[in-house]
Structures are given as structure tokens and as C-alpha cells.
Amino acid sequence: MGKPLARKCSQEVGFGLLVSFIFCLVLYSLIYSSLLGVNNGVNLLVNKQVHPIRIVKINGTEHPCSDRYIYIHEGLPSRFNYDFLNNCESLTAGAMTVSNISNMCPYFVNLGLGPVIESSEGVLANESWFSTNQFLLEVIFHNRMKQYECLTENSTLASAIYVPFYAGIDASVHLRDPNLTARDSSAKDLVRWLSSKPEWKKMWGSDHFFVAGRVSWDFRRRRDNSSNWGSKLRFLPESVNMSMLSIEGSAWKNDLAIPYPTSFHPKEDSEVVQWQNRVRKQERPHLFAFVGAPRARQKNSIRGKLIDQCQASTNCKFLHCRKNNCDNPVTIMRVFQSSVYCLQPPGDTSTRRSTFDSFVAGCVPVFFQPASAYTQYLWHLPKNHTKYSVFIPVRSAEDLKEGDIEKVLLGISKDRELAMRQEVIRLIPKLVYADPRSRLKTQDAFDLAVQGILERIGNVREVIREGKDPSIGSAESDNGKFTFPKTNTNRLY
């Protein structure tokens, strides 16, 4: 009888220990959760813990990817990215471009670079030129990110989390949809999916970023009014913690501008050098040029004045984009390569892809508003804008008098003109996106964007470690980005 009793006592003791262990584990979890808080919104509480990035060492030497690891959310449901590629027939090109192509399928080939330009009529130098759609940055960036040298499948090692959401393509489908529920559905579903993942709770989204191939304003609809433009993506509480890289930033500091994709996507460094040498030696018979079309419906647009002044001058070349195919890179580059200065007024918004086409052509850009470049592409353009451009501040069309532009440009010395063109040509590698199927030794626009977002997220992580709230300042607005400097705006220089 003694042995069964002993066995029974042993079982009861073992069961008691197991219950105690589970109780302690649950209690610990509750305490730990209360310390972390449960907030997916804007404010990051100062008592939330941030796990430091592990410094990977090999034989005692710090690995070159330390603090540079990026984790891709490749588990993102395909409705947010790949389904667009697979159903490209349903995406009308009219929402993405002004060309006569009926749908987006041709633009998705070559990993988003578009069709290879077969015949450049002697205007382009090599085979790394494509008919690239200006709104496909997110596809190009995603394919480049897949080749990034410091990817990790272990999210705990990652300094940043990349979300491959094709925000711009998704937005283009619903931009004019009167049904706001449909217009906002993808945005709400995206943040719901992200905030349910363990990676989110590491920094509550402040280490997450995504890329958009449209301007930031397309994602910042303030009111639930169908007449207002865009989606509410960037005003959703979870999204506020994330950073967005787009072709044009907004007044909010968590929207960051990176270059529009041009048609030049080099495979090798030698192709970049070859092109730089070509445009450096280029004869430029035109003092200045404008490629575009008037904006008759925009009351304060200066384009009409620019076109009038260009057509009145024998020193200017005007390419009317409603009468010519400005989707053809050959047409545009022929004009820009033959001109010293290229006029870059605002488009439908402050920035234009044409700005980066002019850089690639070695043509010095002429800006009329600071937000067209100077307050936008802070990771890619020098702070001193006088090194690479001419600024003629114009608040409204009335400020621009007859002959003003030609007068200003003729007044620039040959030495300064040459110095600006040399700087523009020097910047070319930093403003183009290399072919995703290759890797350059020199930094391109993608490399600088990744470097910039890693530094930004690193700064946020440091703020949290200091016990501060990183949401303060990072998601605030900065309207100074779209205002003129404090100077006499009637003065042209």
C-alpha cells in the first residue's frame, strides 16, 4: 500500500509545481504587458521598451551590415502588391500617364522599368534606357530592395522594416471613387494587418516604412467628403508612426521625398561614366528650354507666361506636350540635351519628373518655387542650391514680367554656368535608379534613400532609449516647406 501512496503524492507535487510555474508565467506576462502598454496609435509612451539592434560580429570584427539590416514583410497579402501586377489589364493607363497605352501591363515589364527603348535615333548612348512610367517607383524600389545586401529573415536583427505595399497603384484605382469606404479600404486593411504582427510591437510601427509612386497629398484626405481628393492612409493612427518615401513629400515630416524614376537605369558603373562624358561634351545651341503644356484651369499657374516668354525668344526651345509625345524619353532628352537651362515650374503639384530628366540630360534646372526641389529631396540634392540650379522666385504669374527669364539667364557668367552644369552632371548617379538585376559600386538614388531612412529610424530609436516620446516632431507638419524665403520676391536671380 505504501508505493501507490508515494506515487500519488509525487504526482500531486509535480502537478502543483506545474500549476505554480504557469501561474508565475502568466503573472510575469501581465506585468510585462502593462509596462509596454498596448498602443498602436500616434503617441509612443516613454516606458515602452525598445530592443537594441544586435551588433553582429565575425571573429571579433563588426559585420558591415550591423545597423543596416532590413526585414521585408514579404508575407503581406498579395492584394496589396502582386495582384496589381497579375491583373494589370484592369489598371487603366489613363490614371497613371497621359500616353495612348490602354493599360499598365507594358509598364510592368523588366521589373517595373518598362519596355526597353529599341531605337533612340542617336539621342541615347546605350541599352540601359526604358520607357519608365513615372508612377511606378514602388515597384522599382521593391525589386531593388530584394537585392539589398543587408536583408535579414530575422526581424529582431532588423534596423528597419520595409512594407512592400504598392500604395500609389492602389490609390490610382480609387482616387475618383465617390465611395469613400472603397477608397479607404486598402489603407485600413493594411494597418490592421501590420499592427497584428509581432514586428509591429517592437517599436509600434516607428521602424516601418513604405514607398509610394504618387505624391504624398494623394494619401492625406482630411475629411470624409467624397469631393475631397485622395485616401486617408496617412491620417490613420497606425500609419502616422510609419515613414513614407514618395516622389513628393507633404508638409508632414514623416513624408519624405525621393527622386522620380527617370528612363535611365544603368546596369554598370561604366554606363554612368559613359553617359556623363556624353552630356558633358554635348553642344547646347539653346540657352533655355521648356517641356510641358499650359495649365489653363490653374488660376495661379505661371506656365502660360513661361510658354509666352519662351516662344518670344530665339534662344528658347519649347516642346508642347499636348502636340508631341512627351512620354517618349527620346523626344524629351533631345530637347534637354541641346539646352543650357531647363525651366521647371510646378506641375499639378510642386514637383515634376521633368526636373530629374533635365539633371540626367546635363541641363541646369531653373526653379520658381522652393518646394519644387530645395525643400524636398534633402537626401539627394546639395543644401546649397546655387551650386546646381537657378532660382527665380515667382509667387504668381503677375510677378513674371515680359523677358524676365531670358534677362536673368543671359546675366549669368559663363564660369558660373559651367560650374553649375558640372555639378548637375556630377549628381547624375545619385538621381537615377539602377537596374534591379544588377548592382553598381557607386551609390544611386535607391542607396541614398535606404541610407536616409535607416538614419531617420536610428534617430527615433535613440530618442526612445533616452526615455522621450519619438512621436513629438516626427509626425508634425512643417508648412515652411512650401513657403518662399524671406526675401524680395520681385527680385530675380
CB 257 within 8 A of CB 249: yes
Looking at residue 4, its pLDDT comes to 45
Backbone angles phi, psi at 74, to 5 degrees: -75, -10
Asked whether residue 408 falls in the same domain as residue 287, the answer is yes
Looking at residue 294, its pLDDT comes to 85
Asked whether residue 467 falls in the same domain as residue 425, the answer is no
Pick out the chain residues at pLDDT < 70.
1-62, 93-101, 296-300, 472-474, 485-493
In a domain, 105, yes or no: yes
Asked whether residue 383 falls in the same domain as residue 323, the answer is yes
167-174 vs 137-145: helix crossing angle, rounded to 10:
160
Full residue range of the structural domain in which residue 214 is found: 57-261+438-481
Secondary structure (3-state) at 346:
coil
In a domain, 140, yes or no: yes
In a domain, 35, yes or no: no
Looking at residue 477, its pLDDT comes to 79
Asked whether residue 245 falls in the same domain as residue 302, the answer is no
| This prediction's pTM | 0.84
Asked whether residue 468 falls in the same domain as residue 379, the answer is no
Report d(CA 36, CA 469) in Å as an integer.
13
In the chain the first and final C-alpha atoms are separated, in Å, by: 106
What single letter denotes the amino acid at residue 39?
N
In a domain, 10, yes or no: no
Q: What is the CATH number of the domain that holds 397?
A: 3.40.50.2000
Report d(CA 53, CA 21) in Å as an integer.
31
Looking at residue 482, its pLDDT comes to 79
Asked whether residue 415 falls in the same domain as residue 455, the answer is no
Asked whether residue 236 falls in the same domain as residue 289, the answer is no
Report d(CA 163, CA 239) in Å as an integer.
12
CB atoms under 10 Å from CB of 477, counted, come to: 12
In a domain, 122, yes or no: yes
Asked whether residue 110 falls in the same domain as residue 223, the answer is yes
Looking at residue 487, its pLDDT comes to 52
CB 167 within 8 A of CB 233: yes
Asked whether residue 201 falls in the same domain as residue 140, the answer is yes
Asked whether residue 469 falls in the same domain as residue 398, the answer is no
In a domain, 83, yes or no: yes
Report d(CA 416, CA 382) in Å as an integer.
16
In a domain, 40, yes or no: no
Looking at residue 101, its pLDDT comes to 63
Looking at residue 483, its pLDDT comes to 79
CB 70 within 8 A of CB 151: yes
Asked whether residue 322 falls in the same domain as residue 173, the answer is no
Give the total number of structural domains in the chain: 2
Instruction: Look at residues 415, 431, 447 and tell me which one is the last residue of a structural domain.
Output: 431
Looking at residue 6, its pLDDT comes to 44
Looking at residue 376, its pLDDT comes to 96
Asked whether residue 424 falls in the same domain as residue 350, the answer is yes
In a domain, 372, yes or no: yes
